[in-house]
């Protein structure tokens, strides 16, 4: 047995236990860090060449592994901008230079420029709706941009598309008098409702919609500008109908058999197309199943709402919503082998595999939870136990080195 080898092995053991104590120190220090993933040290043997009748001690080889794939407990908060991933995947974030990283730390707040930034100074990244429905860049983080909240007054959006789904009562009597489309004081109708739309400048435009049964399974829809209505009543309006449409139904099924849409030119606005696809004529009362119109009046952003699918909505003071961004999630084949950097962020390397992106809930990616944060996956009790074990092992290895040193002294004094 080599005394030098014995001492070298003791040093190897002390170095390994010192590395383990260092990871324990990091874990305990970051036990309250949002999204932190604990570190662990794995040991393997180092064997040197041995002869049949003698043994040369080797030592140990340490490998530090971060338990990235182990999820921490979700803690719910009162802020909709606190985000957590339930399952696999990472948020894509950027630094001041525009470089992209991955993180599980989702405590975001708006900065002075409206960018969503976490406590480490990294900005949440996503895909903008500015050019339509976003599509994910499957194999790169670079197609994303910083999610930004513009808290100035928004541009008004005119109405262009709407849904008009109602049930026309099949038992309604046929109107034989003057129809609303004639715009006479004696006009008769079966049903009426009003719809709010928006003009080019975001001005509110109220539309009066008259529905009149003109024959079996046949109805006339006439739309008027409410601002043109006669004082104290409606008819006659100061101008004729904005649009008139005849719709027919199958007398057997009660389903639409003719036109399924109609277009109304909104005063001071754009042509507004109403979809009537799911309207019916059944033996029940007149029922408004769904009436909706896009567009909005000028308003300022009140807050951001983030959906489970990663869509970031701006909620305005008039309670309308606009999709601004969609947040993707990134993942790799081996998350535990990612390279960890300061600020609780990760980058891919050859051992972790290439990055792939998708939206929350797709493939094997987790779901996005708004109003929650992922706690550190550190167990303090476990770390304290590991610290005591590492301390004892370090002391034992130091005894090995000390014994080898004493024996070496004995050997060197033999010549005396």
Q: Hey, what domains does the chain have and what are their CATH numbers?
A: 3-67+377-412 (no CATH), 74-154+301-374 (no CATH), 161-293 (2.60.98.20)
pLDDT of amino acid 152: 54
pLDDT at 281: 95
pTM: 0.66
For position 404, what pLDDT does the model report?
A: 82
Burial category of 216 from C-beta neighbours within 10 Å (exposed 0-12, middle 13-18, buried 19 and up): exposed
Question: According to the model, what pLDDT value does residue 183 have?
Answer: 94
Residues of the chain falling short of pLDDT 70: 1, 50-51, 150-155, 415-416
* Pair 65, 40: CB distance under 8 Å: yes
Q: Tell me the Cα Rg of the chain.
A: 35
Query: What is residue 303's predicted lDDT score, i.e. its pLDDT?
Result: 77
Helix then strand count (H, E) for the chain reads 2, 27
For the record, the structure tokens of 379 come out as: 């167990």
């Amino acid at each position: 047995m080599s005394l030098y080898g014995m001492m070298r092995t003791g040093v190897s053991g002390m170095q390994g236990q010192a590395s383990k104590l260092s990871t324990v120190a990091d874990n305990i220090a970051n036990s309250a860090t949002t999204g932190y993933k604990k570190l662990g040290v794995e040991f393997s043997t180092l064997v040197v060449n041995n002869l049949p009748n003698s043994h040369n001690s080797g030592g140990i080889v340490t490998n530090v592994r971060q338990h990235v794939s182990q999820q921490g407990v979700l803690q719910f908060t009162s802020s909709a901008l606190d985000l957590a991933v339930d399952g696999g995947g990472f948020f894509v974030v950027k630094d001041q230079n525009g470089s992209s990283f991955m993180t599980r730390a989702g405590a975001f707040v708006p900065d002075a420029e409206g960018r969503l930034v976490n406590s480490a100074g990294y900005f949440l990244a996503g895909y903008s709706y500015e050019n339509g429905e976003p599509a994910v860049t499957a194999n790169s983080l670079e197609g994303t941009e910083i999610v930004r909240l513009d808290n100035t007054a928004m541009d008004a959006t005119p109405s262009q598309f709407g849904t008009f789904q109602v049930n026309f009562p099949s038992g309604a009597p046929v109107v034989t008098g003057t129809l609303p489309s004639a715009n006479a004081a004696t006009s008769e109708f079966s049903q009426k409702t009003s719809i709010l739309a928006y003009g080019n400048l975001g001005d509110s435009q109220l539309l009066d919609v008259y529905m009149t049964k003109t024959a079996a399974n046949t109805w006339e829809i006439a739309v008027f500008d409410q601002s043109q209505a006669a004082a104290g009543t409606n008819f006659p309006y100061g101008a004729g109908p904005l649009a008139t449409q005849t719709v027919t139904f199958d007398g057997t099924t009660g389903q639409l058999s003719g036109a399924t849409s109609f277009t109304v030119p909104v005063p001071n606005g754009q042509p507004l197309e109403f979809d009537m696809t799911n309207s019916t004529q059944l033996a029940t009362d007149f029922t408004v199943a769904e009436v909706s119109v896009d567009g909005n009046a000028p308003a300022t952003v009140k807050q951001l709402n983030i959906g489970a699918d990663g869509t970031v909505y701006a909620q305005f003071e008039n309670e309308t919503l606009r999709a601004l961004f969609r947040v993707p999630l990134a993942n790799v084949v081996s998350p535990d082998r990612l390279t960890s950097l300061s600020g609780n962020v990760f980058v891919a390397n050859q051992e972790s595999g290439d990055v792939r992106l998708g939206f929350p809930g797709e493939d094997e990616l987790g779901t996005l939870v708004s109003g929650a944060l992922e706690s550190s996956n550190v167990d303090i009790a476990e770390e304290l136990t590991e610290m005591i074990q590492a301390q004892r092992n370090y002391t034992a290895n130091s005894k090995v080195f000390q014994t080898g040193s004493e024996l070496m002294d004995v050997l060197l004094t033999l010549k005396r």
